[in-house]
Amino acid sequence: MLEVKNLHKVYDGHGRRVTAVGDLTFTVPEGQFACVVGPSGCGKTTLLRVLAGLLPATSGEVTVRGTPVTAPPPDLAVVFQEYGRSLFPWLRVRANVELPLKAQGMGRAQRRELASEALEAVGLSDVDNAYPWQLSGGMQQRVAIARAIAYQPKVLLMDEPFAAVDAQTRADLEDLVRSVWQRLGVTLLFVTHDIDEAVYLGQRVIVLSASPTTVAEDLAIDLPAERDQLATRSDPRFTELRGQVYARIQQVKRAPAAEGASA
């Protein structure tokens, strides 16, 4: 379970003070797939960094599986948008996937087994010996996902992981993430700019207001559990839900402070 309680984050430095997150409170139950959308600059990445223990909160509290976050939680993995920067170019694919396991002190045989399983799950068994820069952008992002899966996290945070890949690859990766989530039973918080993607993927969509950020809307996605790129996206309920999220984002963009205060 993830708990965000009255999270407030101010960046203060070099004579510039930015309130990235105003007052954010929400809970993601164990095993839920929750998506977060909101206007650009509303603090989505900041939220994920605080949850991942990479950045301290100014005030408020975040807890991951009952423990207040003060450093990167041991059972949490993050997949960032910039796969190019998150993989080590001098390490082969397999070594990249095994790295966090090695850092944990896991033995060689177990590392190999978990990495092989994860690479197979993302369809990259045959390139385990390649270097990341020899792969396409979509394949590199699959390596980053494999690394997160191999780590066997209880909580997975994803920050616009498919923003830099083409539409077809993006659809494939969306389905990959859904199947990984179903298989691992992991708690997943997925940040995206893309409203359709949020509704397609999530069991729930949390809409954030513009800065100072609050939760503007918290919407249950009551689509069938089995999602399909064609059938789900042409379901009238899908259109209705994406319309609701879209309208809400337009509202918060027009009146950020008032909307935030009334949420």
Ligand X SMILES: Nc1ncnc2c1ncn2[C@@H]1O[C@H](COP(=O)(O)OP(=O)(O)OP(=O)(O)O)[C@@H](O)[C@H]1O
Residues that bind ligand X (CB under 6 A): 11, 18, 20, 38, 40-46, 193
46 or 187, CB closer to ligand X? 46
Residues whose CB is less than 8 angstroms from the CB of residue 113 and which lie 6 or more positions away in sequence, other chains included: none
The span from the CA of 247 to the CA of 193, in Å, is 14
CB of residue 30 to ligand X, shortest distance in Å: 25
* 70 exposure class (CB count in 10 Å sphere: 0-12, 13-18, 19+): exposed
CB of residue 131 to ligand X, shortest distance in Å: 28
Distance of CA 210 to the CA centre of its chain: 19
20 or 201, CB closer to ligand X? 20
- For the record, the structure tokens of 36 come out as 């977060």
Cα-based torsion angle of the residue sequence 72, 77, 80, 82 in order, rounded to the nearest 10 degrees: 90
* Cα torsion 123, 229, 181, 135: sign: positive
The span from the CA of 171 to the CA of 126, in Å, is 22
The span from the CA of 174 to the CA of 190, in Å, is 11
Helix (H) or strand (E) segment spanning residue 263: none
Q: For residue 133, how many other CB atoms are within 10 A of its CB?
A: 10
